[in-house]
Amino acid sequence: MDIKKEYECWLENATTDADVVAELKTLDDTKIEDAFYRDLAFGTGGLRGVIGAGTNRMNIYTVAKASQGLADYLKKNFTEPSVAIGYDSRIKSDVFAKVAAGVFAANGVQVNIWPVLMPVPTVSFATRYLHTSAGVMVTASHNPSKYNGYKVYGADGCQITTEAATEILAEIEKLDIFADVKTSDFETGVANSSIQYIPDEVYTAFVEQVKSQSVLFGEEVNKNVAIVYSPLNGTGLKPVTRTLKEMGYTNITVVKEQEQPDGNFPTCPYPNPEIKEASCWIMHPVWMVCRSPMCSSSCWKITAPSWCVLPVPSRSSKHISRLVQRIKKLPKRWKRRFARVLKST
């Protein structure tokens, strides 16, 4: 790739996104090389990279090119190709999702898109429920806020195979990023039904499926158990609290600082519940016992940012005493992890 030539091509043609236009004008030689020395890699996980200007960045042009390649692949493999699309709370996720939808619609691929931000599993679910040919989720999982990504799922709702990724990449590599990508206006697509919002019945069906995964098998539990929940400024607030409440768990406290969707993830360097900076907002020192593999079944681990639920014990002195005694019985390697718990008592 001729980096200088590619950069000049972008200066001339990348005029739609004001952020890209502004950034291109500020790049020095070192930054130009990093932004243009390669195309953003596409594999079984789709695309992932820093948001910005260039072929090695996540922007509306690299997303559109990937969508064109995927559209060409779908048209070769399906008689009536279709796609389900979702997006999370990350910076520009909604923009990238709509750009992708416009490309698919321009290529005759029927688009089904969630009308609001949703957790990653809802795209896999919608792909199966609506029997679409593929699914696309705009997200970058646990990466820092400057990243975004473009996950691709097969018709089975699972991440694409190596073989499928290779075929899609071959289609992408045939394309000129400006000359060969078909685009269309998102709102026009909604108006003519080439782009359709996924109906609420699919969301309800998803919640019902989540509820059916309970492992209680009819056991009686205290549904007034105190639950502290954090979406980590992601997508889980509404689906998680709805699911819990419909199952009878109403004693829910949501961490205020991490409650609302915010792609800047202001409380932590990156939204991974396994790091202290992310989990300290939800975890009283005593609650940290749940991180032990030997914890009682009434404590659950924090899982992914979009589905981060932690039922916690009461703060009664009796219960705390029991937890401390349990910690003291742990092997040394685990006891060290809960030094703060022991110290606080």
Q: How far apart, in whole angstroms, are the C-alpha atoms of residue 142 and residue 45?
A: 14
Distance CA(240)–CA(210), nearest Å, equals 10
What is the CB neighbour count within 10 angstroms for residue 77?
13
CA nearest to 261, candidates 290, 230, 286, 289:
230
Query: Please, what is the Cα angle at 102 between 151 and 84, to 5 degrees?
Result: 45
Cβ–Cβ contacts within 10 Å for residue 158, how many?
12
Contact by Cβ (8 Å): 87, 138: yes
Supply the residues annotated as catalytic.
Answer: 141
151 exposure class (CB count in 10 Å sphere: 0-12, 13-18, 19+): buried
Phi, psi of 192 (to 5 degrees): -95, 5
The encoded tokens of residue 294 equal 């030997």
Contact predicate 182/68, CB 8 Å: yes
d(CA 105, CA 286): 52
Report how far residue 77's alpha carbon sits from residue 72's, in angstroms, rounded to the nearest whole number.
9
Structure tokens at 18: 């004001």
